[in-house]
Amino acid sequence: MDAGTGTADGGRPLENTGDRPTVGVEEEYLLLDPDSGLPLPRVDAVRAIAGLHPAIHHDELQNELLQAQVEVATPVCRDLDEVGGHLLRLRHALAQAAETSGCRLAACGTAPYAPSVPPEIVDAPRYHTIRQVVSLLADEAMINGMHVHVAVPDPQTGVEVLNRLRPWLPVLTALSANSPLWYGSDTGYASWRTVVFGRWPISGIPPHFADAADYERRIDHLLEARLIRDRGQLYWQARLSAKFPTVELRAMDVQLRADEAVMLAGLVRALVVTAIQDAAAGRPPAPRTPESLEGAAWHAARYGLDDTLHDPDTGLSRPAGEIVRGMMDRLGPVLEALGDTRAVAPLVHRLLSEGNGADRQRRYLAEHGRPGLIAMIAAESAAS
């Protein structure tokens, strides 16, 4: 599921390089039966086969809560071409291993079809404890996200970034929405993963923090009160990594296409750099209330890019295309300075024109039925 297990924050530590912070990406995938589209508990076989691939490092493959899931983590990357190369390499190796194991790799935010019995969890003490604590939520954990780590120089800067990213999280949810189907039905939501993940404790948009000390005090209280067992169980859509000097954005569904994952990684890095610049210049975060942000997050998960989004500055509703184009205008100079414009801008325009993953899943299901949908998901997930 979407990091609900509190697993590692990435394959290897990220580091900061001045005005060009490094970036890393984690992706979670499902393993589906090629005919029925039902999740198959084949993670051990898939990881064993993929781990023999000479281009795969063992740190890059990770378990998730369910045996029908697998997670990857890229190495530290200095530019988006590196991110794309690693994601394609990892997806291709896992897709081959999945096919050898009799299943298909699926980069979709939810399992479009699911068995009537609860899914099998990975046989490890941590996962059994989580299953015991969260009960039915573990049975609904067939959800996949992508997490983007961006290096920050220190925790105080990281908290300044978190405070300024909060209004942008719904926009990222809308852009990345890729989970409209659940247990064989169209949910009516663009990102049903966001709704399911929001049921977990300490989730959703993070609160505003006074400073890094306030961040630490509040987490220490959650630990002391035994509301979480460790910092991996902070399920906020954005948080500071417990292991590495990074801000981790977790508001996004995993992407059908690797190039769209790269685009989102570029947007996240540009948002982080912009937030750092704003903090250094003394520009305060947008004055958004918690209820306004939670409402905007629900709206983004419900409608994706098909309706309106809420302006990160004012909180007022405007057409989604206007919000996205305004974001690109704001981030344009930073994207150019980072050398990321080419990998981001054309993909954003394509997304506005062709729709996000949720739109494509719905179209394929309507035009080609269940077999066509599963074939499309597998083909786009493994495309190189």
CATH number for the domain spanning 259: value is 3.30.590.20
Pinpoint the alpha helices (H) of the chain.
Answer: 43-51, 80-100, 125-134, 136-139, 155-165, 169-176, 192-197, 212-224, 258-280, 290-303, 320-338, 341-354, 357-382
Question: Taking 60 as the threshold, does the pLDDT of residue 297 lie above it?
Answer: yes
Contacts of 164 (CB under 8 A, 6+ apart): 274, 275, 278, 279, 285, 286
Q: Which of 46-50, 91-95, 122-126, 267-271 has the lowest mean pLDDT?
A: 122-126
Task: Tell me the pLDDT band of 125, cut-offs 50, 70 and 90.
Answer: low
Instruction: Give the confidence band of 8 by pLDDT, cuts at 50, 70, 90.
Output: very low
Q: Is residue 383 part of a domain?
A: no
Quote the crossing angle between the two packed helices 320-338 and 258-280, to the nearest 10°: 80
HSE of 112, CA atoms in CB hemisphere, 13 A:
29
Q: Between the CA of residue 187 and those of 33, 180, 193, 337, 358, what are the distances in Å?
A: 22, 6, 11, 40, 11
Q: Can you tell me the mean pLDDT for 139-153?
A: 92
Question: Average pLDDT, stretch 314-321?
Answer: 97
pLDDT digits (tens, 9 = 90+) for 221-231: 999 999 988 89
* The pLDDT value given to residue 102: 95
- Give the mean model confidence (pLDDT) for residues 28-44: 93
User: What is the number of structural domains in the chain?
Assistant: 1
Residue 308 lies in a domain: yes
Cβ within 8 Å of residue 260, ≥6 positions away:
176, 347, 351, 357
The C-alpha torsion from 121 through 122 and 127 to 130, rounded to 10°, is -10
Q: Residue 296 domain-assigned?
A: yes
User: Hey, how many other C-beta atoms are within 10 angstroms of the C-beta on 213?
Assistant: 12
What pairing do the DSSP bridges indicate for beta strands 61-62 and 69-73?
A: antiparallel
> What average pLDDT score do residues 348-365 get?
96
Average pLDDT over residues 94-116: 93
Contact present, 127 and 157 (Cβ < 8 Å): no
Task: Tell me which H or E stretch contains 246.
Answer: strand 246-253
Residue 176 lies in a domain: yes
Is residue 16 included in any domain, yes or no?
A: no
Could you report the per-residue pLDDT of 53-76, keeping only the tens digit for each?
766 776 777 766 778 899 999 999
Q: Give 107's DSSP letter.
A: -
Q: How far apart are CA 137 and CA 357, in angstroms?
A: 24
Q: How far apart are CA 379 and CA 374, in angstroms?
A: 9
pLDDT above 80 for 339: yes
Residue 92 lies in a domain: yes
- Show the domain range for 306: 23-374
- Per-residue b or e along 64-76, where b marks 16 or more CB atoms closer than 10 Å to that residue's CB: bbbbbbbbbbbbb
Average pLDDT, the chain: 90
For residue range 158-191, list pLDDT tens digits in order.
Answer: 999 999 999 999 999 999 999 999 999 999 999 9
Residue 324: inside a domain, yes or no? yes
Domain-embedded: residue 10: no
